[in-house]
Amino acid sequence: MSSARVTFQIAENPPARLDKALARDVPAEAALSRTRLARLMEQGAVLVNGVVATDPKGKIAEGAEVEITVPVADESHIGPEDIPLEVIFEDDDLIVIDKPAGMVVHPAPGTPSGTLVNALLHHCGDTLSGVGGEKRPGIVHRIDKETSGLLVVAKSDRAHHGLAKQFEKHTVERYYRAVVYGVPDANDPRLRGVRGVNFESGNIMKITTQLARHKTDRQKQAVLFEGGRHAVTRSRIVEIYGTPEVASMVECWLETGRTHQIRVHLTHAGHSLIGDPTYGGKRKLSEKALSQQGIQAACSFDRQALHAAVLGFEHPVTGDAMRFEAPIPEDMNALIKALAQPKA
């Protein structure tokens, strides 16, 4: 395996720990995160004044000469594919994509090709500097196959580490638009009896539960109140459809990011997403409330009506505040327009 050498000198007032000193002083162009440096130390690839250094807690003095042998990133085992992408932003460290509904994010046994990762490998080509020693895009979060909207993907190891940390700390801003059955309003007495559901000022519905894989259907998630993983979703009404009211568009934002979280939580509250084949089912909408076009649009909508509309985070390398918005896609717009059409 070919490799590159990174050499530098420790600056004044180094941190007490070796790993922190290396992370502070390693040249930025080397694109080595603290996690990657720790792995290289374990592999005996870090020399301090000509001596192998493997203890991340070890001490290091100002002026010490550091030499790191960095293996050149291996080519990914996943094949690149020429699939069009809607690129919202791109630089040397990350790329933001508006993913269409129907595209899987990462290859899996059932979908070995045609995924976002396959498309990114083709699009990014040699601009991928390597994540964890492999030339691949760093996936730090996902959205479901049939959910459209914004995703940020790391192109370098340092960006991958920095973005993952922000997602772990729940500091990333994520807003979704969803079209649901019913209207999740604080004035609905039924909702006051649903465990885990309460309302904050401004008619904001907060759902707090645990989530875990369903006991009998391994493709689904289930709401629990003991065990599982903590999950919090908030939502507010954006538009209401029907007379009387039978559907609404809501804006949702996540305090945590669990698999299928919005879909499971809104279903638990009795407001499943229109078109959701896993959690929503088909509900009969009143012909007295909606136009025929609205009823037909809701019945024929063939995916969960969910769109990742806003994504905000701190650039993991420059520290700049980044915020992106993606317009609601055509199929959801058509559904919304049909639901809003007055009954003749």
325 within 8 A of 310, measured Cβ to Cβ: yes
Contacts of 251 by beta carbon, 8 Å cutoff, 6+ apart: 175, 176, 177, 178, 235, 236, 238, 309
Contacts of 337 by beta carbon, 8 Å cutoff, 6+ apart: none
What is d(CA 97, CA 284) in angstroms, rounded to the nearest whole number? 35
Assign 211 to helix, strand or coil. strand
What is d(CA 284, CA 299) in angstroms, rounded to the nearest whole number? 8
Burial (0-12, 13-18, 19+ Cβ within 10 Å), 68: buried
25 within 8 A of 8, measured Cβ to Cβ: yes
Tell me which DSSP letter residue 288 carries: T
Q: Which of 19, 144, 157, 331 is catalytic?
A: 144
What is d(CA 312, CA 9) in angstroms, rounded to the nearest whole number? 36
Annotated active-site residue 144? The verdict is yes
307 within 8 A of 176, measured Cβ to Cβ: yes
69 within 8 A of 45, measured Cβ to Cβ: yes
Reading the block at residue 55, the tokens are 């203890």
What is d(CA 13, CA 128) in angstroms, rounded to the nearest whole number? 33
- Could you check whether the bond before residue 244 is cis, i.e. omega within 30 degrees of 0? yes
* Active site members: 144
